[in-house]
Structure 1
């Protein structure tokens, strides 16, 4: 009995001493300073050296030649994802510095890692059911391009990194298309850890209001029913409620309805180009904090820190339910008959939300130009109930196929499937298969570059069944696998961030065979004489269409396009379906 009491006393003393430890890291966000890339890594190396249950790991290179790090925190010296998953623990992945001029998450994550590791009580509470994986700095090229003049609407911190990476890409538009080495290694990292909850930390100047931190939440309607219910009934109410208990309230990201926030704000939907939209493809609860650029930097860091702490506690407390909801969601996705590839906001459904804003003023006079401008009157604060629109209805759905067939020539697409752990087989022999193919009827090109691409918009298609020759080594991809959502979003041409829209299949839009008006004449005449029904249609068109009747080239083109001479592969999307 005496020995047991002494042991208990000793453990209590150790816990108190652990709690009383001073912070290891010298963070200077209160002085409007955010650390350089080298300082960030040095601080995580300090934590790695001091604590056995945390480690700093390299995960391949980034475009600037520096490694992509993760800092893993566990309640034991176990850092293997497979072992951790087998123990039934959930994984919370936090990404920082994707836009290097928005560094509050970098400081907040450093503070969080320092505090959790030196506080035995927090360590036991948060890490019993959860492992936390932090990407200290994602856009390293942008962080190294540091200046006081990188972000014109931001006054603090005094120096920050640059929005673009070393190759001038916006990395938060690159998760699906993977042009950057950063994204390719992030895809590998995400596949390896398969996180249950994901957070990407940002800063926004999109609107002016009284909050330091806002949230782009996982859009419930993009998830299968069980996960939609979990988001609406437990995840979001829990996060908002627990944030309200702290110093900083949380509000949905303020994407407001014109002409005034009082008209309401709408939930945003992030597609797979964005980090949180990419995460949702894998039934992961992906979200973004958007701290408010017009607030003091210290408040931005502290409010981001508070959210990270709230999210970590929620993930730990609900670890088992989060894991099970993902399993159930995957089963629901794999047995669904249709899949929505586009959504539209339902403006008839909304809830009321307390909003603390500033009055909008469309007639402010600019102190710079002396001319009228849009702005906010920060002397006129208000708190009002406003509509919050968070329901999206499917605008277009597709029937889910059982298999996709992808010719091996499309190696850039195959590489990305492999990065994300997609299961597929290769044909052992040459064979002819009856498949459904679609043709790209119409599409529009962006008038300017979008992150290095001329993105295709307004895509329309028609489908038909054809017998197509495939070759040994071509891919047969079972659609009903764990990562079904990724397959549908990336391989269906009309999906919002599909590989087609990002120009991975543009060769099919370029016609290879053609006809000359002189050279085709003999074959055209022969074709008409051999196809009497078609010749009759051709003559009727000449009689009813005067412009057609006067145009030699148009008439030959009509014959060519409606004959076996026409190039069957022109505009034929190469990913075929089998139902």
Structure 2
């Protein structure tokens, strides 16, 4: 007889648990009597006004809670942060862990929103706040998307209506953590640097394959984290987290990023580069988890899974606080003196692990729409098996940091990004001529269509040239003896996968500003070639090996022009200089 699908057994248990929670809440003290909009109707997720009203009430009722506005969002409404502290002290301190939980970055994935509303109330009402953890909850991050309510996720099993993935500018905020175009992101970064969390959770809902797991997640990519943090996260925190989840009836699996057509082909670890929330957090030695509840499980089961996951992380932070704090401090100290930094990584398929996966048998049948073969998952055929898991990433590109970077003050947007992210900068007190190492961009690729409003550059190659350059009073010096070194290097080095150059912060350097008139420059070029045998040799060799070049008079003139004092030195010169 086929085993009852896992999510159905969990759903029936949850209905009983939910009834008990609601009953306990209603029969308790008056200040704890209210239930969330979700608890009143489990087919619904709370609206933005209901969310903020809920946290405002908790703020008024409990001295251990505080709701604050941390900045504006693109839609003009404030971004809120809800803080929970047993000692009523709501600032980050070096003697306690700060846990940051983010909700509604994609408001169409709302389980974390409703789960955290209940979790916050229950922690306060039950006097269960950990004494050594500051809990910081973003009630709903993408406010504009939350207000744009509808049914845009066609593959999702409830709730009845929910928010939209894009924000008020139609930006995916979980791709914005380096370019920081959204006001939401700027506010988040300011808040993050104030809190300096050690642990981060971002609540989401998955899409894609079907399987038995209600709950999957990925941790910050272990091979990019500093070893002081990564080793502890993978060897102790995650195994303990998984035990707690299993004990609560939610056996986890890695986020289902499968290698072939179905999960049985194996799972691939997620490479969360700094554009993503957990990748951004990793730049500051904060380890994180992206929770992905399964889209096709009943909405109440997904809310319960989010509740269980976030509560488990809180309890582990409480239990492991001393170790977590010590690991981040050692990592911060080590990064100050670290010499070499990775700029990009790649999956190492030669290193294979395996994980237990609770799936459904996949099969194919004719499509009723196209008549062609289509994939489906047969829920009458659940399985439990070990599947391959590739989660080792190796360094693809790396660089030795300079002693300092020098940035002309003209690049105000870049300076603003650095300041907001906790980077210490110095201004030059007077005009100064310095010999620096300058990059020239020699090659890059850009897509035909924009990605999040940008033509993001990949495959960047550079050449280096030592040059004396005049800098001016007010230009900036960025020394690389800081705990923020990873953020500094990975944004300022143009070859980094999510560098400011990749995100088009420096596009104007790619434009040539001065040119030559062919008929006039012909005589100058002839004189230059006549008087410079080395230049003549280079020209002849290029003509001999490049047929198209040899047939283009303009290309040959330009070849000579680029090797003259007339050619502008600023063309393709990256305006962040290395001082060694």
* TM-score above 0.5, yes or no: yes
Q: Is the CA contact (8 Å cut-off) linking 2:26 and 2:34 kept in structure 1?
A: no
Distance 1:203 1:544, change over 3 A: closer
2:501: which partner in 1?
Answer: 500
Question: How far 1:578 moved relative to its partner?
Answer: 1.7
In structure 2, what is the Cα distance between the partners aligned to 1:545 and 1:247?
67
1:288: which partner in 2?
Answer: 290
- C-alpha offsets along residues 128-161 of structure 1, whole Å, 9 cap, x if unaligned? 11010100011111111111x2222123001001
Q: Is the CA contact (8 Å cut-off) linking 2:209 and 2:262 kept in structure 1?
A: no
Residue correspondence of structure 1 range 422-501 to structure 2 within 5 A = 422-501=423-502
Q: Secondary structure of the equivalent of 1:302?
A: helix
Q: Is the CA contact (8 Å cut-off) linking 1:19 and 1:119 kept in structure 2?
A: no
Q: Secondary structure of the equivalent of 1:31?
A: coil
Distance 1:528 1:89, change over 3 A: same
Residue correspondence of structure 1 range 23-422 to structure 2 within 5 A = 24-28=34-38, 31-81=42-92, 85-86=93-94, 88-120=95-127, 122-123=128-129, 127-147=130-150, 149-361=151-363, 363-422=364-423
- C-alpha offsets along residues 272-319 of structure 1, whole Å, 9 cap, x if unaligned? 111111111110112210111010000000000000000000111111
TM-score normalized by the length of structure 2: 0.92
In structure 2, what is the Cα distance between the partners aligned to 1:544 and 1:254?
50
In structure 1, what is the Cα distance between the partners aligned to 2:560 and 2:25?
88
Distance 1:201 1:526, change over 3 A: same
Question: How far 1:514 moved relative to its partner?
Answer: 1.3
Distance 1:540 1:39, change over 3 A: closer
In structure 2, what is the Cα distance between the partners aligned to 1:119 and 1:578?
56
Distance 1:260 1:554, change over 3 A: same
In structure 2, what is the Cα distance between the partners aligned to 1:135 and 1:44?
11
In structure 2, what is the Cα distance between the partners aligned to 1:452 and 1:506?
14
1:10: which partner in 2?
Answer: none
In structure 2, what is the Cα distance between the partners aligned to 1:290 and 1:478?
39
Residue correspondence of structure 1 range 2-41 to structure 2 within 5 A = 21=29, 24-28=34-38, 31-41=42-52
Question: How far 1:198 moved relative to its partner?
Answer: 0.7
In structure 2, what is the Cα distance between the partners aligned to 1:132 and 1:549?
68
Q: Secondary structure of the equivalent of 2:190?
A: helix
In structure 1, what is the Cα distance between the partners aligned to 2:163 and 2:74?
15
Q: Is the CA contact (8 Å cut-off) linking 2:419 and 2:425 kept in structure 1?
A: no
What stretches of structure 2 of length at least 5 have no aligned partner?
A: 1-23
Q: Secondary structure of the equivalent of 1:28?
A: helix
In structure 2, what is the Cα distance between the partners aligned to 1:543 and 1:348?
44
Q: Is the CA contact (8 Å cut-off) linking 1:529 and 1:535 kept in structure 2?
A: yes
In structure 2, what is the Cα distance between the partners aligned to 1:485 and 1:222?
10
Distance 1:517 1:305, change over 3 A: same
Question: How far 1:563 moved relative to its partner?
Answer: 1.9
TM-score normalized by the length of structure 1: 0.92
Distance 1:264 1:19, change over 3 A: farther
